[in-house]
Amino acid sequence: MIFCYAPFSISQFSMPRLPAHFYTREDVVKVAKDLLGKYLVTCFDGQLASGKIVETEAYRAPEDRASHAWSNRRTPRTEIMFAEGGRAYVYLCYGVHHLFNVVTGPGGMAHAVLVRAVEPAENVEVMLRRRNLRHSVRNLTAGPGALTQALGIRSGHSGLSLLDPAGPVWLEDRGEPVFEKNIIASPRVGVAYAGECAHWPWRFRVEGSAWTSPAK
DNA sequence: AAGAGGATGAACT
DNA sequence: GTTCATCCTCTTG
């Protein structure tokens, strides 16, 4: 069992966290692409677990009807999306699935990136247990509801800072960039209600990855 | 106060 | 391909 006092006791293994300026950029589409190849890491109950991001979607309020904050709609749930980039927006979907988003942009811009799939990295054992699986197969972490379960992220974690050195959720750059030519862009999943916005090609996948979500 | 529906996944046929 | 789990958030009255 790995015991972790994040991030100090693991500093010799840990790579740099993404800095504030990575998140606060205005172009959420660019941030969504840049998140591919970065590592999403959690440490709950002393158990470190992580995965490399291989699929994301950008959501850009106020003009994006598919965003919960469309038209700058402020509710208790969406309020965190208006914060300065670098926080988590986690919400419950279909009463069952907890979906993890990275809040981006300067304060006041309700931009976010949904993380839809990761490739398992550290502590597959813990992730298997959380998912009630025996073997590491694609559905361990492929799909936005699956990866949060594997990493132990729940809607109660919404609002957490990804920059807090003592926080349980963060992102790392481990020097494995994904280049533009290897990014597949396509329309986002499950946003048919969003009219024109439903066609915007803001779902991004790493070409050739065996760990992206099954959604068409 | 009540009701509809959702940025999904699993287990069916 | 279809069903359904399951609950919070938001809208309406």
At A64-118, the pLDDT tens digits run 999 999 999 999 999 999 999 999 999 999 999 999 999 999 999 999 999 999 9
Do the domain assignments include residue A2? no
* pLDDT tens digits, one per residue of A5-41: 444 444 445 678 999 999 999 999 999 999 999 999 9
Do the domain assignments include residue A141? yes
Residue A68 or residue A134, greater confidence: A68
**CATH number of residue A141's parent domain:** 3.10.300.10
Question: What per-residue confidence (pLDDT) applies to A1?
Answer: 37
Do the domain assignments include residue A5? no
- Which residues contact residue A56 at a Cβ distance below 8 angstroms, ignoring those fewer than 6 apart? A32, A33, A35, A36, A113, A114, A115, A116, A203, A204
Q: What is the CA radius of gyration of chain A?
A: 16
Do the domain assignments include residue A36? yes
Do the domain assignments include residue A216? no
A92 C-beta less than 7 Å away from strand C: yes
* pLDDT tens digits, one per residue of A163-207: 999 999 999 999 999 999 999 999 999 999 898 999 999 999 999
Question: Residue A2: is its pLDDT beyond 70?
Answer: no
Question: What per-residue confidence (pLDDT) applies to A33?
Answer: 98
Question: What per-residue confidence (pLDDT) applies to A5?
Answer: 42
Question: What per-residue confidence (pLDDT) applies to A32?
Answer: 98
What Å value separates CA A97 and C1' B8? 6
Bridge-based pairing of strands A97-104 and A39-44 is unpaired
**A157 residue type, one letter:** H
Which nucleotide, over all strands, has the C1' atom closest to the CA of A70? B7
What Å value separates CA A186 and C1' B9? 21
What Å value separates CA A75 and C1' B1? 20
Do the domain assignments include residue A214? no
Question: Would the pTM count as exceeding 0.85?
Answer: yes
Which nucleotide, over all strands, has the C1' atom closest to the CA of A97? B8
Read off the pLDDT band of A121 (50, 70, 90).
very high
A96 C-beta less than 7 Å away from strand C: yes
Question: What per-residue confidence (pLDDT) applies to A137?
Answer: 86
Do the domain assignments include residue A97? yes
- Total domains in chain A come to 1
Question: What per-residue confidence (pLDDT) applies to A8?
Answer: 42
Do the domain assignments include residue A79? yes
Question: What per-residue confidence (pLDDT) applies to A93?
Answer: 97
- Could you list the residue range(s) of the whole structural domain that residue A144 is in? 16-206
| Residue of least CA–C1' distance to B6 | A94
